[in-house]
Structure 1
């Protein structure tokens, strides 16, 4: 029987236990986080809701000058007002990440107004779960996921990277997905392909920019219960809360590891590499229309 915790969060205790066992999170020391972000320009995309919003609030509380990016000005202004009420500093830059001209204007505007960006949290994302036979006349499903999850972030970094490399300072945190490390799952072709594209792009670029002291962290995020994941019924699947996921973002900034992944994912990935054919056949047998 699922019990509801007394703190009123409404989250079943059994799920909280399962989440902690499957997806332990790292909570950075406040002093370490503050030393990395205090007085620095921290850009967070997808900052109006979910992981982006929670991360922005924590980074501002640690002294970061937070730049909030998402499509809705109204939602961003509400986040900024909350940060200001807590004594933090936040600037609002409404931008549609599927509009490449707007993304370039964002990057150049930030450099003009703030001089530089110290930390970029690439959090904005688009998720679509749809079978291929329902996608024959929906090419836009693929273009909009690739624009938000891959091309938009690439365009933004092409604008910001020269400044980071010249200053020999910068850190990029990418909110990826543990699915990138796993065998491809049915119905997730658009999402998986777009997230994999940017993951490979960033890891390739990381090898080129490391000599200039620009660092990257890829967070292979497990399931997080947000409004983006809500359209798919994950109610029986243990996952992180937004607060737990934002702790991972803060840890990525404070500790700067090359990657953060669920502890169990390397074993699953090794198994899938060794049994690629059998894993694919398992997916094929398991998938039902």
Structure 2
């Protein structure tokens, strides 16, 4: 399986090719029950197709019923067994309906991939009368995956399964202006799962944190500043997630992120000064 051939030279350097062995992936996921949230577009969609080829048994969750049915049809043609559940995970009633369905399913769950997410970039001064910017991002990026995880943990323990959270590289970096709602919500679930990880691993449930760079999905389209930024393809991101399944590895982050993490500690003041005086739209 080769990575996206449309990368620029810079993207090839920043996002080295990920080799995914189809045989090992099939051995790891064939007939396993895998729950994927945010499955109708972007990373979730591409991940669905790769896992379908490996003969996984998939439960796909997303808001768009028509698009979800289209993904299901294509995934089934690739060899996967697919079930879909239409739900807005920010809606408490719909989230509870999903949880009840999963709890009443005798088959169990082997892997939970928390991929659904909401991004928003807005100045704090433009949010003074928009508290819902924070509540909506927290609802999808934090409360929904926490509630799903708590519901699924007994089943994951029984299956010696895995939780995978699709996070963002900037969770590990100095907070950026205008991203207060988004970054707070992503950090919240990352910290929650990191705190829960030792207990889960003691019960033989693997936990994987996937810290992705900018990815070419519809989520980044509203941000004008990202149009010319290097970005990973959704297919490449999906392969990285699959490798985390095969290896049950605890963490993925881009090779260059360590320099950003060090810089965030050593050069916090100049970085904050630069960000404050950089007017990106």
TM-score (norm 2): 0.93
Residue 240 of structure 1 aligns to a residue in which SS? coil
User: Residue in 1 aligned with 2:220?
Assistant: 229
Gaps of 5+ in 1: 1-8
Deviations 1:68-116, CA, capped at 9 Å, x for gaps: 0001221111110111222221101111111234223312312322431
Which of 142, 151, 162 does residue 154 from structure 2 map onto? Answer: 162
On the 8 A contact 2:49/2:75 being kept in 1, the answer is: yes
User: Residue in 2 aligned with 1:23?
Assistant: 15
On the 8 A contact 2:69/2:84 being kept in 1, the answer is: yes
Which of 206, 209, 230 does residue 215 from structure 1 map onto? Answer: 206
Give, in angstroms, the shift of residue 277 of structure 1. 2.9
Deviations 1:188-219, CA, capped at 9 Å, x for gaps: 11111100000111111111111110011111
Aligned pairs for 1:35-46 (under 5 A) are 35-46=27-38
The verdict on how the C-alpha distance between 1:159 and 1:25 changes in structure 2, with shifts beyond 3 A counting, is farther
User: Residue in 1 aligned with 2:253?
Assistant: 261
Deviations 1:7-61, CA, capped at 9 Å, x for gaps: xx994xxx53211201224232111111111011011100011100110111111
The verdict on how the C-alpha distance between 1:125 and 1:25 changes in structure 2, with shifts beyond 3 A counting, is farther
The verdict on how the C-alpha distance between 1:10 and 1:255 changes in structure 2, with shifts beyond 3 A counting, is closer
User: Residue in 2 aligned with 1:90?
Assistant: 82
On the 8 A contact 1:69/1:94 being kept in 2, the answer is: yes
On the 8 A contact 1:168/1:212 being kept in 2, the answer is: no
Gaps of 5+ in 2: none
User: Residue in 2 aligned with 1:123?
Assistant: 115
The question of 1:238 aligning with 2:230 is answered: yes
Number of equivalent positions: 277
The question of 1:193 aligning with 2:184 is answered: yes
User: Residue in 1 aligned with 2:126?
Assistant: 134
TM-score (norm 1): 0.91
Residue 106 of structure 1 aligns to a residue in which SS? helix
Residue 77 of structure 1 aligns to a residue in which SS? helix
Return the alpha-carbon distance in structure 1 between the equivalents of residues 70 and 117 of structure 2: 20
Which of 31, 50, 65 does residue 42 from structure 2 map onto? Answer: 50
The verdict on how the C-alpha distance between 1:50 and 1:134 changes in structure 2, with shifts beyond 3 A counting, is same
CA RMSD across the alignment: 1.7
User: Residue in 1 aligned with 2:164?
Assistant: 173
Return the alpha-carbon distance in structure 1 between the equivalents of residues 146 and 24 of structure 2: 29
On the 8 A contact 1:104/1:156 being kept in 2, the answer is: no
Give, in angstroms, the shift of residue 230 of structure 1. 0.8
Return the alpha-carbon distance in structure 2 between the equivalents of residues 82 and 114 of structure 1: 26
On the 8 A contact 2:53/2:79 being kept in 1, the answer is: yes
Which of 237, 259, 271 does residue 279 from structure 1 map onto? Answer: 271
